[in-house]
Structure 1
Amino acid sequence: MAHSSTSFVSPVGSTLVGRTVRVAFTQIATVLRAWKHRRQVRALAEFDDRMLKDIGLTRSDVDGALDESMFHNPSVLLVRSVERRSRMQRPSADRRAERPTVPSIKAVG
């Protein structure tokens, strides 16, 4: 005797309503994360220029990140700024640091 089981209830994630709910929650989570990061970037705006330089940022980096839309994560721009600046400051293979020479001292005696 063959037994077939047919489910009349499909998993929530596979229905149109389920997918819509999942997308809505994902979008809400993204906006909430962006707002949280915006608060943290505003805290960075309170740092003086020396403190910002210590973490690889400039005042214009922070101001530019805060000029972004309320719904975009401003910390992404700050990470890109730091990465771009660190790439620009790395010595190229052509400018390798030469080994320092130590002057020789003649023994007296």
Structure 2
Amino acid sequence: MSRSAAPNLISPVPPMLGRLLRTLVSLARAVRDRSEVKHLAEFDERMLKDIGLTRGDVESALMEPVHHRPSSMLVRCAEASARHMDLPPPHASHGRWTRL
């Protein structure tokens, strides 16, 4: 059999399989993220306030659909709280409050 007539045994991942893998990875990340946010539900009101959140923020984030990442919603809540209190937002890479 000539080289050009041989079937292409090494082919890239079919597009449909690639989309499926990306979806599964995204879902796994969302589930892990949700698990981490559930730990915030154990914080008392003072601890949540220290990081710019309320109990309602955490509960609302956990009510988001399973495929959404609740931490994204909590970051927006903390940023809004910081703007309201006239504080600088948390540093993007560390999630900690920065001082000017």
TM tier relative to shorter chain: 0.7 to 0.9
Report how many residues are paired.
Answer: 83
Any idea what SS the aligned residue of 1:41 has? helix
Q: Does 1:68 align with 2:68?
A: no
5+ unaligned residues in a row in structure 2: which ranges? 88-100
Counterpart Cα distance in 2 of 1:73 and 1:87: 22
**Offset of 1:36 from its aligned partner?**
0.5
Which 4+ residue blocks in structure 1 deviate beyond 6 angstroms?
none
Residue in structure 1 matched with residue 92 of structure 2 by the alignment: none
**Offset of 1:89 from its aligned partner?**
2.3
5+ unaligned residues in a row in structure 1: which ranges? 92-109
Q: CA RMSD in A?
A: 2.0
Q: Does 1:12 align with 2:8?
A: no
User: 1:71 is matched by which residue type in structure 2?
Assistant: H
Counterpart Cα distance in 2 of 1:32 and 1:51: 28
Counterpart Cα distance in 2 of 1:22 and 1:88: 43
**Alignment of structure 1 residues 68-87 onto 2, 5 Å:** 68-87=64-83
The alignment's TM-score, normalised by the length of structure 2, stands at 0.72
**Alignment of structure 1 residues 11-90 onto 2, 5 Å:** 11-13=11-13, 18-90=14-86
**Offset of 1:87 from its aligned partner?**
2.0
Counterpart Cα distance in 2 of 1:90 and 1:66: 27
**Offset of 1:11 from its aligned partner?**
4.0
User: Aligned residues: percent identity?
Assistant: 39
The alignment's TM-score, normalised by the length of structure 1, stands at 0.67
